[in-house]
Chains A and B, each alone.
Chain A
Amino acid sequence: MALPPFQAFFDDHRDEVLGFLTALVGPSDADDAFQETFVAALRAYPRLREDSNLRAWVLTIARRKAIDLARARNRRALPSDDLPEHPAPAPPDKQPELWVAVSGLPERQRAAVFLRFAGDLTHRDIAEVMDASEDAVRKNVSDGLKKLKETFA
């Protein structure tokens, strides 16, 4: 039950964290958010409880860093700037237009939809990551899905 060496933790979660951040802030900012996420994780790691859910823990940090980054961007953006209100779309994989639509969802729905479907997390784990109730994240997922459905109807 001891904490695994950080390298093993990093290797287990780095692809998923990068994917999550790409969905949250877009590919050009995902790298910076990734650095902030894992530096914060490394800093706190020795104090972590040994029975922690490491995956939910690192996704929680990632989401906070994504929110911080988006806030910093918004503060810097002057009204005259033509920065997009929403992040750039995720890199086209198989369903580019679908992930463009996801990136247009409100932040909580975007995160919940990614974690539920791409990450296959339980509602309970999503609730932990998003620091919300299970009911709230169920609603985030279903609202997000509903909007996507309307987009592609």
Chain B
Amino acid sequence: MNLDIEKALRGAAPTARGASDDVAARFLRRASDEGLLDVAYAHVDSPLGPLLAATTERGLVRLSYLGFRDEDETLQKLADDVSPRVLEAPARLDPVRRELDEYFEGKRSEFDVAIDWSPMKDFQRRILEATAAIPFGGHASYGEVAERAGNPRAFRAAGTALGRNPIPIIIPCHRVWAAGGKLGGYTGGLERKRTLLELEGALQPELG
């Protein structure tokens, strides 16, 4: 009889599945109201494939190509770099999603969403701020960006900093080219860089 009861206890745990979606939504509201949501993230669809966007109270901290780096890895990196209080909160990313949609529809050439620069190291921040100043449709070389960041000889380090751009598209590292009009590399793969530049009219669509 003892054994039967143990077996029944194992098999009949009151887990209340299904109900837990409501309590999870309520928890997210509480976390947000109490200011405990350090990093909110959401999935965003784009013509370049699925993206993961993340924001702090200060502004956007991440925009990742999910086809390029996997979601768990991206979220773990956010937890390590910014704060482990990372929660999926799509409503917080609505403004970013809206601006990205407009950009890809050709209705927007500048982003208005705030960027949180605070997790970036000093040199990377200067490089990416110089990059953010390159206008829609324009482009600059790695050397030019390094120069504008105050260190003209650091073009290699500029390439590295751009390769680690945490917010591609919105910080437009696709507008930074290699010397001699060659495109150079891109965090999301060269095909994405080409697509963005064609959208901005900086590059003629390839024929064939």
Task: Say if the beta carbon of A43 comes within 8 Å of chain B.
Answer: yes
B84 near A27: Cβ-Cβ < 8 Å: no
Q: How large is the interface on B (under 10, 10 to 19, 20 to 34, 35 or more residues)?
A: 35 or more
A93 near B13: Cβ-Cβ < 8 Å: yes
User: 0/1 per residue, A22-59, Cβ < 8 Å to B?
Assistant: 11000100110011001100110110000000000000
Contacts known (A2-B80, A46-B85); A152 close to B16, Cβ less than 8 A: no
B23 near A34: Cβ-Cβ < 8 Å: yes
A27 contact from B11, B16, B85, Cβ within 8 A: B16
A64-72, A74-82, A94-102, A123-131: which lies at the B interface? A94-102
Q: Interface residue count for A (Cβ, 8 Å)?
A: 45
A4 near B79: Cβ-Cβ < 8 Å: yes
Task: Say if the beta carbon of B68 comes within 8 Å of chain A.
Answer: no
Contacts known (A5-B78, A27-B16); A35 close to B87, Cβ less than 8 A: no
A118 to B12, CA, bound (A): 7
Task: Say if the beta carbon of A85 comes within 8 Å of chain B.
Answer: no
Task: Say if the beta carbon of B36 comes within 8 Å of chain A.
Answer: yes
Task: Say if the beta carbon of A145 comes within 8 Å of chain B.
Answer: yes
B11 near A95: Cβ-Cβ < 8 Å: yes
CB neighbours of A93 from chain B (8 A): 12-15
Look across to chain B and name the residue whose beta carbon is closest to the beta carbon of A34.
B23
CB neighbours of B6 from chain A (8 A): 117, 145
A5 to B15, CA, bound (A): 24
B86 near A5: Cβ-Cβ < 8 Å: yes
B85 near A38: Cβ-Cβ < 8 Å: no
Interface residues in B6-45 (C-beta closer than 8 Å to A): 6, 8-17, 19-20, 22-24, 26-27, 30-31, 34, 36, 38-39, 41
Known: A15-B16, A22-B14. 18 other contacts (CB 8 A): A2-B79, A3-B79, A4-B76, A5-B75, A5-B76, A10-B87, A19-B14, A23-B13, A39-B31, A39-B34, A94-B11, A98-B8, A117-B13, A118-B12, A119-B13, A148-B9, A149-B1, A149-B2
